Chains A and B, each alone.
Chain A
């Protein structure tokens, strides 16, 4: 049994994030080594990973949008306006944003998230107002009030909504990427699992099938230390989730999940491998769940010093510092992004809040394509919507 405070911000050897959150200690955030300079013109200006200034700033925007949207949701939750539970990704924004940002939306790449991948959805083009509608069970929500939180999808924007049964989206995304293959399309899929989801049979079956058929799938394993209250050590006997790659015969990488640039670069490599027909990659992102499983959970099982350590390793603060210290963006630019996020969310919250809940009888539509609507029980006379 591991000592309760054994969960350090990361394993020191390979990916140690800075003890005090400064970007200077990050070992993986370096310009994409080994790629020809011609392929990344931005490198001439000292910019990393083949990304432009606008893109580097966009990573910041998406992380800020993710956190601020969740903060707005927290307020709405406390006001009783969120109908169900509220799931935060505080401190994990870099892994959602950095991985999804590595996909090529114009090529039709697709992903399927987990509960703490709001950032991935926003990168794919999900609208904050739709997320608010989902949490508030509005008639206007993408699922018409039928499903909760980030459990919604949009094939046009390239994401498929998850269900609560962990691991199930791995076989589903194997089928999505199998279809890319059958049609001869050079599209890539990405699916998220966590330290908990990797214990399910569905994860194993889907991973194995995808690996056997060398499907263009990137499997992102978010190691945030906890599955509800269960620690990594009680979830699995491997020290690092990436070790599971050997069981499937696929390559893998372990990355500092709180370094958005390192996450992006590793995800980019995995996406390029997939697109080149080289099959599945398992990517472990070491991060930390700074809130409870959901808003009701007070995290009494979490050592306070562990939490404090990870608070000092905040992915957004790190990226902001990196951007300014590397002169990729200045404080004014970041402030402008913050203001843009605030304005967008003001508008989205105002819009979603005043919208109605669904009409009761709409519950009877859409179980099947045919019939599109079933009859109400005879004792339940409700006017048709």
Chain B
């Protein structure tokens, strides 16, 4: 089995879906001739032609709106946001038009909107965002956040095949840093809505997703070595719909839970997870549910500032120790 990067796995997934289903097409800024700002669609225009790989003007609302119109007629468009920060320009059309289409008008809208999210790359306030919380609150959307190369591929394939709109947030820090051996043949699909236990453990649980899975795993190693703690790491993979069963299972197993995300703290996904645990499994808890998140600031550029604002492995270790000792 060849080793492929997270980015290459995503690319493979996109390409395979375009090969197996003529209804799939890609639209976005610089996705065609240039092959995408991060080269996710490099070579696609040559392979699939300029009808199925469409370079658009700088118009996120039009990209998503046009994808929606095509989806109504049975197409399977994949819209790229060059950086996911720009998805906010399509917020109206995503939340008001796309997300409500099935409910209000019984109108299928199977689009995928994907793009690079996340920090740790010195990208500053507008090339580092994690916008999941802005959409997590919108019924009708699905949100996936792959952490591994396998899921980068498996979730893009599942997203394209899903009958509802899916936001696919790929972490740019992982693009070329994460590698995995993947089978060359076979149909690798990761089911939407299902979490994955990334590491088994019995003393405490870290519920997390996207790039933070790797920081959590790193922290778990440290905690095992230095403290003898067996830490379970749950990789959510999908935020909407959330895998409540998997979260409750780990709560019941370890009775101590912390949630880690790279997004800012107030109104973040962690708050919702904590509320669900509180409602459904309060009596299983031996400690309060704790959070490790970014500070509530725009993301600054300077390395000293960015590192201070974003969650670090040492933060996770420190909070885990507090949780274990409670």
Contacts and interface: CB of A to CB of B under 8 A. Distances in A.
B163 A174 contact: no
A183 B279 CA distance: 50
A367 B99 CA distance: 8
Nearest to B280: A378
A369 B69 contact: no
A208 B66 CA distance: 12
A182 B108 CA distance: 19
Interface stretch (A52-60, A87-95, A164-172, A225-233): A164-172
A175 B68 contact: yes
A306 to B, nearest CB: 34
Given A168-B65, A209-B66, A367 B97 contact: no
Interface size of A as a range: 35 or more
Interface size of B as a range: 35 or more
* Residues of A contacting B: mostly: loop
Contacts of B51: 182
B103 interface: yes
A171 B65 CA distance: 5
A151 to B, nearest CB: 7
Contacts of B266: none
| Most chain A CB within a 10 A radius of its CB, from B56, B62, B97, B139 | B62
B62 A160 contact: no
Contacts of B164: 368-370
Contact of B65 (A153, A170, A179, A369): A170
B70 A147 contact: no
Nearest to A368: B164
B102 interface: yes
Contacts of A201: 61
Given A146-B103, A172-B97, A367 B66 contact: no
Interface of A: 142-144, 146-147, 151-153, 155, 160-161, 163-165, 168, 170-179, 182, 201-202, 205-206, 208-209, 212-213, 366-371
8 shortest interchain CB distances as A-B pairs: A175-B69, A171-B65, A175-B66, A205-B62, A205-B59, A369-B163, A176-B69, A172-B69
Given A171-B59, A175-B77, 13 more contacts: A144-B106, A160-B69, A165-B92, A165-B93, A175-B71, A176-B69, A176-B70, A179-B75, A182-B25, A202-B92, A205-B57, A208-B59, A367-B103
Interface of B: 25, 51-52, 54, 56-57, 59-75, 77, 92-93, 96-97, 100, 102-108, 139-140, 142, 162-164, 241
